[in-house]
Amino acid sequence: MSHPVTRAARRVLARKYGDRKVEPTYRGFAEKNWKLVYLRHNKLHRARQLGKIWPPKEWKKLTADIEPVKVLFVCSRNQWRSPTGEAVFARVDGVSARSAGTASNARRKISLADIRWADLILVMEDKHKSRLSADFRQEVAYKPVHILDIPDNYKYMDANLIELIRAKAGPLIFDQG
Protein backbone atom coordinates (compact mmCIF):
# COMPACT_ATOMS: atom_id res chain seq x y z
CA MET A 1 0.00 0.00 0.00
CA SER A 2 1.41 3.35 -0.99
CA HIS A 3 1.50 6.39 1.18
CA PRO A 4 -1.63 8.58 0.80
CA VAL A 5 -0.88 11.74 -1.10
CA THR A 6 -3.84 13.92 -0.26
CA ARG A 7 -5.02 15.12 3.09
CA ALA A 8 -8.44 13.53 2.60
CA ALA A 9 -6.86 10.11 2.00
CA ARG A 10 -4.81 10.47 5.17
CA ARG A 11 -7.96 11.31 7.15
CA VAL A 12 -9.78 8.25 5.79
CA LEU A 13 -6.90 6.00 6.83
CA ALA A 14 -6.77 7.66 10.26
CA ARG A 15 -10.48 6.93 10.82
CA LYS A 16 -10.10 3.37 9.56
CA TYR A 17 -7.04 2.39 11.63
CA GLY A 18 -7.41 4.83 14.50
CA ASP A 19 -5.07 7.60 15.45
CA ARG A 20 -1.71 5.90 15.79
CA LYS A 21 0.21 9.06 16.61
CA VAL A 22 2.99 8.46 19.02
CA GLU A 23 4.06 11.22 21.37
CA PRO A 24 6.98 13.09 19.89
CA THR A 25 10.27 12.36 21.56
CA TYR A 26 13.38 14.37 22.02
CA ARG A 27 16.64 12.48 21.68
CA GLY A 28 14.85 9.25 22.58
CA PHE A 29 13.20 10.56 25.78
CA ALA A 30 9.43 10.71 26.21
CA GLU A 31 9.66 14.08 27.96
CA LYS A 32 12.20 16.80 27.61
CA ASN A 33 14.81 16.39 30.25
CA TRP A 34 16.00 19.96 30.49
CA LYS A 35 19.28 19.00 32.13
CA LEU A 36 20.12 16.99 29.02
CA VAL A 37 18.74 19.53 26.56
CA TYR A 38 20.76 22.43 27.91
CA LEU A 39 24.26 21.08 28.04
CA ARG A 40 27.13 22.94 29.66
CA HIS A 41 28.40 24.44 26.40
CA ASN A 42 24.87 25.69 25.60
CA LYS A 43 24.61 27.35 28.99
CA LEU A 44 28.04 28.93 28.68
CA HIS A 45 27.23 30.22 25.19
CA ARG A 46 23.94 31.73 26.39
CA ALA A 47 25.63 33.28 29.41
CA ARG A 48 28.23 34.89 27.13
CA GLN A 49 25.43 36.30 24.98
CA LEU A 50 23.82 37.82 28.07
CA GLY A 51 27.14 39.13 29.34
CA LYS A 52 27.03 37.03 32.51
CA ILE A 53 29.48 34.63 34.02
CA TRP A 54 28.09 31.14 34.57
CA PRO A 55 28.37 29.16 36.79
CA PRO A 56 28.98 31.60 39.66
CA LYS A 57 31.99 29.68 40.99
CA GLU A 58 33.71 30.41 37.67
CA TRP A 59 33.70 34.07 38.71
CA LYS A 60 35.94 33.29 41.69
CA LYS A 61 38.41 31.47 39.42
CA LEU A 62 38.47 34.36 36.94
CA THR A 63 38.94 37.08 39.54
CA ALA A 64 41.62 35.19 41.46
CA ASP A 65 44.25 36.02 38.83
CA ILE A 66 43.04 39.51 37.94
CA GLU A 67 44.75 42.51 39.47
CA PRO A 68 42.38 44.81 41.35
CA VAL A 69 41.31 48.16 39.94
CA LYS A 70 43.35 50.82 41.73
CA VAL A 71 41.14 53.79 42.63
CA LEU A 72 42.37 57.09 44.03
CA PHE A 73 39.78 59.28 45.81
CA VAL A 74 40.70 62.97 45.95
CA CYS A 75 39.17 65.83 47.95
CA SER A 76 40.60 69.05 49.41
CA ARG A 77 41.91 68.15 52.86
CA ASN A 78 41.59 64.34 52.83
CA GLN A 79 39.52 64.60 55.96
CA TRP A 80 35.96 63.45 55.27
CA ARG A 81 34.95 62.67 51.70
CA SER A 82 37.95 60.87 50.17
CA PRO A 83 38.73 58.77 53.30
CA THR A 84 35.07 57.70 53.30
CA GLY A 85 35.37 56.66 49.65
CA GLU A 86 38.53 54.73 50.46
CA ALA A 87 36.89 53.00 53.43
CA VAL A 88 33.77 52.07 51.46
CA PHE A 89 35.66 50.47 48.58
CA ALA A 90 38.56 49.04 50.59
CA ARG A 91 36.47 46.00 51.52
CA VAL A 92 35.27 45.30 47.96
CA ASP A 93 36.89 42.42 46.07
CA GLY A 94 38.74 43.49 42.95
CA VAL A 95 39.20 47.09 44.14
CA SER A 96 42.23 48.64 45.78
CA ALA A 97 41.55 52.14 47.12
CA ARG A 98 43.59 55.11 48.38
CA SER A 99 42.70 58.67 49.27
CA ALA A 100 44.56 61.97 49.16
CA GLY A 101 43.95 65.72 49.34
CA THR A 102 44.93 68.60 47.06
CA ALA A 103 45.39 71.28 49.74
CA SER A 104 48.80 71.95 51.26
CA ASN A 105 47.38 71.24 54.74
CA ALA A 106 45.77 67.92 53.74
CA ARG A 107 46.21 64.93 56.06
CA ARG A 108 47.74 63.04 53.15
CA LYS A 109 48.75 65.29 50.27
CA ILE A 110 48.49 63.83 46.79
CA SER A 111 51.82 62.86 45.24
CA LEU A 112 53.14 61.82 41.86
CA ALA A 113 53.43 58.24 43.17
CA ASP A 114 49.69 58.22 43.98
CA ILE A 115 48.77 59.31 40.47
CA ARG A 116 51.11 56.77 38.88
CA TRP A 117 49.70 54.04 41.14
CA ALA A 118 46.04 54.73 40.26
CA ASP A 119 44.13 53.19 37.37
CA LEU A 120 41.20 55.52 38.02
CA ILE A 121 41.11 58.90 39.78
CA LEU A 122 37.84 60.05 41.31
CA VAL A 123 37.69 63.68 42.45
CA MET A 124 34.90 65.13 44.56
CA GLU A 125 34.58 68.52 42.83
CA ASP A 126 35.60 70.25 39.61
CA LYS A 127 38.22 72.37 41.43
CA HIS A 128 40.08 69.19 42.43
CA LYS A 129 40.37 68.10 38.81
CA SER A 130 41.72 71.49 37.75
CA ARG A 131 44.19 71.42 40.66
CA LEU A 132 45.42 67.98 39.56
CA SER A 133 45.72 69.19 35.96
CA ALA A 134 47.72 72.21 37.10
CA ASP A 135 50.08 70.31 39.42
CA PHE A 136 50.48 67.02 37.50
CA ARG A 137 49.67 67.89 33.89
CA GLN A 138 51.77 65.16 32.24
CA GLU A 139 50.65 62.31 34.49
CA VAL A 140 46.96 63.19 34.62
CA ALA A 141 46.75 63.56 30.83
CA TYR A 142 46.67 59.77 30.35
CA LYS A 143 44.62 58.77 33.41
CA PRO A 144 40.84 58.66 33.59
CA VAL A 145 39.75 61.40 36.00
CA HIS A 146 36.05 61.58 36.91
CA ILE A 147 34.25 64.26 38.90
CA LEU A 148 31.73 62.88 41.41
CA ASP A 149 30.12 66.27 42.26
CA ILE A 150 29.91 65.57 45.97
CA PRO A 151 29.85 68.81 48.02
CA ASP A 152 31.80 69.29 51.26
CA ASN A 153 28.68 69.00 53.45
CA TYR A 154 29.27 65.61 55.04
CA LYS A 155 31.24 64.17 57.96
CA TYR A 156 33.43 61.05 57.79
CA MET A 157 31.37 57.87 57.14
CA ASP A 158 28.06 59.78 57.07
CA ALA A 159 25.31 57.45 55.81
CA ASN A 160 24.23 59.89 53.08
CA LEU A 161 27.84 60.34 51.97
CA ILE A 162 28.36 56.56 51.77
CA GLU A 163 25.20 56.19 49.68
CA LEU A 164 26.28 59.02 47.34
CA ILE A 165 29.77 57.62 46.88
CA ARG A 166 28.45 54.11 46.16
CA ALA A 167 25.92 55.45 43.66
CA LYS A 168 28.35 57.70 41.79
CA ALA A 169 31.67 55.84 42.07
CA GLY A 170 30.40 52.25 41.83
CA PRO A 171 29.50 52.29 38.11
CA LEU A 172 32.75 54.06 37.22
CA ILE A 173 34.86 51.56 39.15
CA PHE A 174 33.15 48.41 37.95
CA ASP A 175 33.10 49.54 34.31
CA GLN A 176 36.89 49.79 34.58
CA GLY A 177 37.35 46.20 35.72
Confidence of residue 2 (pLDDT cuts 50, 70, 90): confident
Per-residue pLDDT of 9-50, as tens digits, reads 888 887 787 766 655 555 555 565 666 666 777 777 777 777
pTM surpassing 0.75? no
Whether 68 has a pLDDT exceeding 80, the answer reads yes
Q: How far apart are the C-alpha atoms of 53 and 87, rounded to whole Å?
A: 28
pLDDT of 30 reads 58
Cis previous bond, 55, omega within 30: yes
